[in-house]
Amino acid sequence: MKGLIIRWGVVTLAVVWLLLATGCSSGTEPGRKKHIVVVTKALDSEFWLTLKKGAEEAAAAHPEVELSVLAPEREINIDQQVSILEDQVLKKVSAIAVAPAGAAEVVPVLSKARRSGIPVLLVDTDAPWPDKLTYIGTDNQLGGRLAGEFLVKLLNGKGKVAVIRGISGVIAHADRVAGFQEAISDAPGMQLLAIQPADSERAKAMSVMENLLTTYPDLDAVFATSDQMALGAMEAIAARKLTGKVKLIGFDAGQEAVRAVKAGQMDAVVAQHPAQMGKLAVESAIKVLSGQKIEKRIDTGTTLVTKENADEYLK
Amino acid sequence: MMDQRAEQAQEPVVRKQSVGRAFWPSMPGQLLRRFGPLLGLVLLCLVFSSLSSFFLTFDNLINVFRQSAVNALLALGQLLVIITAGIDLSVGSVLGLSCVLAAMMVKAGAPSGLTIVAAIAIGAALGMVNGLLLTRLRLPHPFIPTLGMMNVARGLALVISGGYPISELPDDFRFLGAGTIFYIPAPVVLVLVVYTLFHIFLTRTTLGRDIYAIGGNQQAALMSGIPVARRLTTVYALSGGLAALGAVVLAGRMNSGFPLAGMGAELDAIAAVIIGGASFFGGVGSVWGTLIGALIMGVLRNGLNLLNVSAYWQTVVIGTVIVVAVWIDVWRQRAMKSRMLISK
Amino acid sequence: MINRTEPLLKLSGITKSFSGVTVLHGVDFEVRKGEVHALVGENGAGKSTLMKIVAGIHQADEGRIFWKGREVQIITPRQAFELGISIVHQELALVPSLSVAENIFLGRYPARRLVFRWLLWREMYQRAIKLLRSLGHDIDPRRLVEELSVAEQQLIEIARALSSNSELIIMDEPTSPLSERETTRLFQTIAHLKASGVSIIYISHRLKEIFEVADRVTVLRDGHHIITTSVAETDVGALVRCMVGREIRKQAEALRAQANKEEALRVEGLAARGKFSDINFTVHRGEIVALAGLVGAGRTELVEALFGAGERDAGRVYLNGQPVRINTPADAVRYGMALVTDDRKTKGLVLGASIHFNVALAAGREFARYGIFLNGKKEKELVGQLARELRIKMADLEQPVVSLSGGNQQKVVLAKWLSAGSTIFLLDEPTRGIDVGSKAEIYQLIRQLAERGVAVLFVSSELEEILHLADRILVICRGRIAGELRREEASEEKIMLLATGGGK
């Protein structure tokens, strides 16, 4: 059994080495710079990239700050976001601004961050967590209301509408729908026919829209709770040659959507201000780190982009 | 006079099995298979510890292990399936469905212990359906029934939950995912216990040996009187059950049963098994190799996170590692083959 | 135009060996234009190898090939094809999901070049119809090949050969999958071909057919050319004598002690559609019974069906007088049956695994603790003991079986069943691909098994082996038992006669 001895010898040596190295290296953090980490839900869309850019611009004005923007591969990889947060907590970074991919799922790790003394700010998506320093983001309900009121005006207070919404369970989408419903129910002539999910996917939204047009041939307008879904719905409407007849409103105001508004293929899009979110996240974090107080709720504002003001939003 | 026919018979692909083995392998190729993944893990740790001072801390290593726990459980089930020369694409979705059902049960007031047992039973039942579809309906390849189950289970998870996560679970239910036992996270202890049990199962029981035999040569196993259909069904049921156990851990860790849990997890599990030295052709693979495979993936993600490398680059790195691991395996096989030809 | 008696193909002094074993010894062979030339011999006489050399699948070690009087080298199947030589294989090489016409012109579609090569469908169908008509058949060229009968598929292969202007078509056992009516039809087709000047090499085990269809016949035995003669000048008996080579055989072994008359295995009315039918026989304890017959007669299918591994439509099986239901090999093993498969590499062994692993494959459960946990020590003892008894040449028990010789691999398979304590052994070609020395050892082992009271049923294509080992011989012809011979009355001629359907 010579082999056995050698084998375990190798394993033991490795373990000893690891333990020694552990003892030597723990707690040697070079802490001159303030390290702020922004964790988004993903970095695969214009929205998140704009937010990242806003954060980077803000950080550039503060040389004492080192900024990292991290994200899981896709928005649905909640557990990956949790892992990223755990690793940052372990590094004892100075502050974390996070857009929770799952409101409930990230709370345990955020509490852990809080316990190890790291200030946590929420960006873009709110979470039911009392220890957050602030929530910086769009008032989604207000945005939804904005879209609803515009539609009521557009249809002169009378018409049949439908909603295409994002993944069930995401608060932002729920808020947008709620705001929209408020505005619609304020106008007695308006009728909400259906609310259907399309998981924020363009292709899914297209087939959902096709089905809506088939089921409700007298549909007057549609509100999609994200740009990608609005663009998918737009294709379906165009395919039936109903562009302009069926009104369409999106949410986010990415470049593609704004161009569609300008071209008259979409009637309006609710603009969020991701760059503002990124900027305010970094600036608020810096304030917290220098001992200043910040608001519990920081609104980054919503505006309605229509054909008239579309040019201002085009880059 | 028969030599002529023997000559014409196609020489079947030759693979060395890791079954019934001597402790110290005699050929360098075998050495590489046995210790290659471990060597890779150690090297990786060395590299990361030199790049980040946070890497080699007790907290972080425990962190890595905890982050790898769910993948390790899925990979263990996947290992059993891959040893039989199969594949189980449904584990991610089975995890999602079990996650939702367990969370709903425990929220409805069921005792935590019962819920955990029920969740595992549900996962095992779903896996068993895979196995029965494969062996009774004689679907041509495990790819088909498990691809079907992957979609069915995910769909059911979304339908049953309405798409909403079910959060704020009781603490005793969360224990397997979020608790600690003497400073060691419960999921780490759980993984070590389950892995030890399956190591014994695979190397010391007749069932384990049947599984290797089926993967090594299904026809020969059948002709030797091994009830191949029943064994395969068992293997898929175990894979489903382990996925459900992964669901319990994940739900505990995240304090939520969410229907999209485990999306794409089947591919991570397959990757861990392959990096851990198992062969897609079946008959080869070990429990500890798979654990190391899962840890290699965990260390890669953790180390790259610590270095603030974007998740997209992480995928590139992991993809490369998979290909390199398999390439080393192929290279090793070729070396062994040429060796055998020389000795003839 | 070449003279009718001028050889189209002439082989001279063809010698070929595989890994040291010579399978063709300086064989001469010729085919004339427009001739049907039959090639006969026992299994393994070298017919297939010779034809594979003609078709460019193998190359001769020595010897010359002449085509239309000119010496040629045929290195690849493609070269043979371009010369005008086609093979209609036993296993048809068609694409089932394509149409008849597409199969006929596979890879050589009529096409017009216009940036791409555009298929000329209409021309393809018309040419296919014409070809099939010239063979005396009307098959819609648009039909899919998978919808056709075996006989029709064979015809498609022949049409494919003709479409490429083949002048020599080799038919390897063309009638073995055909019914009698289809066979008659095929002979008509062959007559058509002959009339249009195509030569045919016709390989068959069915000697009677040769007298219907062939002009001349060549007999090979153990890789030697024995005789070439016009069929008019010979008869079935003479051919059989040439194939077997010995007019009288001396009985090699003294008769073994009379077998125990206790019934071990009885089969009644066993049948599987298209494979075998109406099979009845009994094997007693301590008896060795041979299942003789030509390759493809249904022997392997029969043995595998008995073991629960093959199809079976009807029939009853009794073990020790009790009726049993055997649906899977696992059932068979539980009843104490053992099957040594014809192909140990694909069906008998886990090649990459160790000797130990393979021996314990069938019996591990027997000495596992609580039937679950392996008892490594006990297992190793037994495996080691068996390996010594069977004299398996090996470095140690953990050596992978792939590195063993054929004879030693077969011993591992036998050890597997010995360790399982089986009482009924089914052996399918137990000495295939095994050297002479190991063969003797395996014969010895089989005899020892019988002496211990085990019932043995074995399939073999080697007549010598059958006569050497068997107490009783069942001869199968086209899926039916054509006759039963006791050891005392058996001879190679009698077996061959029954096996080739010439017995009745």
* pLDDT tens per residue across span C110-144: 777 777 777 778 888 888 998 888 887 888 888 88
Give the helix/strand (H/E) hosting C12. strand C7-18
Q: How confident is residue B16, by pLDDT bands cut at 50, 70 and 90? A: very low
CB < 8 Å to A26, chain B:
56-58
For chain B, say whether C332 makes contact (Cβ under 8 Å): yes
Please indicate, yes or no, whether the overall pTM of this predicted structure exceeds 0.90.
no
Please give the pLDDT value at position B336: 61
Q: Quick one: what percent of chain B has pLDDT higher than 70?
A: 86
Whether residues A82 and B253 touch (CB distance < 8 A) is answered with yes
DSSP string spanning C17-69? EETTEEEEEEEEEEEETT-EEEEE-STTSSHHHHHHHHTTSS--SEEEEEETT
More confident residue, B154 or C434: B154
Residue B212 identity (one-letter amino acid): Y
Lowest mean pLDDT among A155-159, B130-134, B260-264, C362-366: C362-366
The pLDDT of residue C419: 87
pLDDT digits (tens, 9 = 90+) for A24-58: 443 334 456 889 999 999 888 888 999 999 999 99
Q: Beta strands of A85-234 (E only): which ranges?
A: 95-98, 120-123, 135-137, 159-165, 190-197, 221-224
pLDDT above 60 for C262 = yes
* pLDDT tens by residue, A161-213: 999 998 766 778 889 999 999 999 998 999 999 999 888 888 889 999 999 99
Q: Count the Cβ atoms, other than its own, within 10 Å of residue C304.
A: 23
Measure Cα distances from B85 to B138, B212, B257, B276, B344 in Å: 15, 9, 32, 15, 29
The predicted structure's pLDDT at residue C92: 66
Are the C-beta atoms of residues C76 and C13 closer than 8 Å to each other? no
Tokens linked to B169? 């679970």
User: Is there a contact between B311 and A84 if contact means CB atoms under 8 Å apart?
Assistant: yes
> What does pLDDT average to over chain B?
85
Give me the phi and psi of B121, to 5 degrees please.
Answer: -65, -40
- This model of the complex carries an ipTM of 0.76
pLDDT digits (tens, 9 = 90+) for B113-142: 999 999 999 999 999 999 999 999 888 899
A111 vs C180 pLDDT, higher one: A111
Position B5 confidence tier, pLDDT thresholds 50, 70, 90: very low
Determine the residue of chain C that is closest to B224 in CA distance. Answer: C362
Confidence band for A254, pLDDT divided at 50, 70 and 90: confident
Tally Cβ neighbours within 10 Å of residue C336: 18
The label of the residue with tokens 């030569």 reads C199
- What's the pLDDT band for B2 if we cut at 50, 70, 90? very low
Is the CB of C21 less than 8 angstroms away from the CB of B227? no
Q: Please identify which residue in the block is written with the tokens 């003709």.
A: C162
First CA to last CA distance, chain C = 45
Residue C40 scores a pLDDT above 60 = yes
Chain B CB within 8 Å of residue A87 CB:
yes
Residue C63: pLDDT band (50, 70, 90) is very high
What does the pLDDT look like over B167-205, one tens digit per residue?
Answer: 888 989 999 988 888 888 999 999 999 999 999 999 888
Q: What whole-number distance in Å separates Cα of residue C112 and Cα of residue C119?
A: 7
User: Looking at residues B209-226, what average pLDDT do you find?
Assistant: 89
Contact B222 C309 (CB under 8 A): yes
Burial class (CB in 10 A: 0-12, 13-18, 19+), A296: exposed
**B283 interface with C at CB cutoff 8 Å:** yes
Using the Cβ of A78 and the Cβ atoms of chain B, whether some distance falls under 8 Å is answered with yes
Cβ within 8 Å, pair A169-B250: no
Residues pairing with C16 in the sheet: C24
Band (C240; pLDDT cuts 50, 70, 90): confident
């919808």: which residue's tokens? C147
Query: Average pLDDT, whole number, for chain C?
Result: 84
Q: Given this model, what pLDDT does residue C488 score?
A: 84
Instruction: Give whole-number Cα distances, C67 to C12, C74, C83, C163, in Å.
Output: 12, 10, 8, 20
How far is Cα B280 from Cα B271, in angstroms, rounded to an integer?
Answer: 11
B338 touching chain C per CB within 8 A = no
Nearest to C332 among B12, B204, B225 (CB): B225
**Encoded amino acid at B211, one letter:** I
Angstrom distance (rounded) from CA B34 to CA B41 = 13
Residue-wise pLDDT for C370-395, tens only, equals: 767 777 788 888 888 888 888 888 88
- From A32, A30, A34, A31, select the one nearest A286 (Cα to Cα): A34
Q: Residue A91 has which token pair? A: 């590094």
Q: Chain C contacts of B7, Cβ < 8 Å?
A: 18-19
Residue A80 identity (one-letter amino acid):
Q
CB-based contact B261 A78, cutoff 8 Å: yes
pLDDT score at A17:
56
pLDDT digits (tens, 9 = 90+) for C274-324: 889 899 999 999 899 999 988 778 888 999 999 998 888 889 999 988 999
Measured between beta carbons, the chain A residues lying within 8 angstroms of B165 are: 102, 104-105, 169
Asked if C373 and B222 come within 8 Å (Cβ–Cβ), the reply is no
> Which candidate in C361, C380, C382, C394 is best for mutational testing of the B interface (most B CBs within 10 A)?
C361
Please give the pLDDT value at position B314. Answer: 85
Q: What amino acid is encoded at A52 in this protein?
A: K
Residue C49: predicted pLDDT:
86
Q: Give the H or E element holding residue A22.
A: helix A2-25
Burial class (CB in 10 A: 0-12, 13-18, 19+), B125: middle
> Could you give the percent of chain B with pLDDT greater than 90?
47
Calculate what percentage of chain C has a pLDDT beyond 90.
Answer: 25
Count of CB contacts below 8 A, A vs B? Answer: 122
CB–CB contact B213 C432 (8 Å): no
Q: Which residue of C17, C244, C351 to mutate against B (max B Cβ within 10 Å)? A: C351
pLDDT digits (tens, 9 = 90+) for C227-236: 899 988 888 8
Those residues whose C-beta lies under 8 Å from the C-beta of residue B111, and which sit 6 or more positions away, are none
Contact C27, C223 (CB under 8 A): yes
Summarize the confidence of residues A7-21 as an average pLDDT.
53
- Cβ-count burial of C478 within 10 angstroms (0-12 exposed, 13-18 middle, 19+ buried)? middle
User: For residue B18, is pLDDT > 50?
Assistant: no
Confidence bin at C459 (pLDDT 50/70/90): very high
| From C60-74, C173-187, C291-305, the region with the lowest mean pLDDT | C173-187
Q: Do A82 and B260 touch (CB under 8 A)?
A: no
Cα(C345)–Cα(B10) distance, rounded to whole angstroms? 10
Q: Which residues contact A244 (CB under 8 A, 6 or more apart)?
A: A264
What are the angstrom distances between the C-alpha of A302 and each of A48, A103, A139? 17, 22, 7
* Chain A residue at shortest CA distance from B169: A104
In b/e form, how buried is each residue of B196-232, taking b as 16+ CB within 10 angstroms?
eebbebbbbbbbbbbbbbbbbbbbbbbbbbbbbbebb
Residue with the larger pLDDT of the pair C45 and A192: A192
- Please report how the helices B287-306 and B28-51 are oriented relative to each other, as an axis angle in degrees rounded to 10: 20
Give the percent of chain A with pLDDT over 90.
55
Q: Which of A261-275, B20-34, C193-207 shows the lowest per-residue confidence on average (mean pLDDT)?
A: B20-34
Residue C2's pLDDT is 44
Lowest mean pLDDT among A287-301, C253-267, C421-435: C253-267
pLDDT band at A277 (very low <50, low <70, confident <90, very high): very high
What value does the mean pLDDT take over residues C69-92? Answer: 84
Label residue C48 exposed, middle or buried (CB < 10 Å: 0-12, 13-18, 19+): buried
Q: Return the pLDDT at A11.
A: 52
**CA-based nearest residue to B219, from C341, C353, C356:** C341
> In sequence order, which residues have a C-beta less than 8 Å from that of residue A221 and are 6 or more positions away?
A151, A154, A155, A159, A160, A161, A162, A246, A247, A248, A249, A267
Residue showing tokens 């080697």: C462
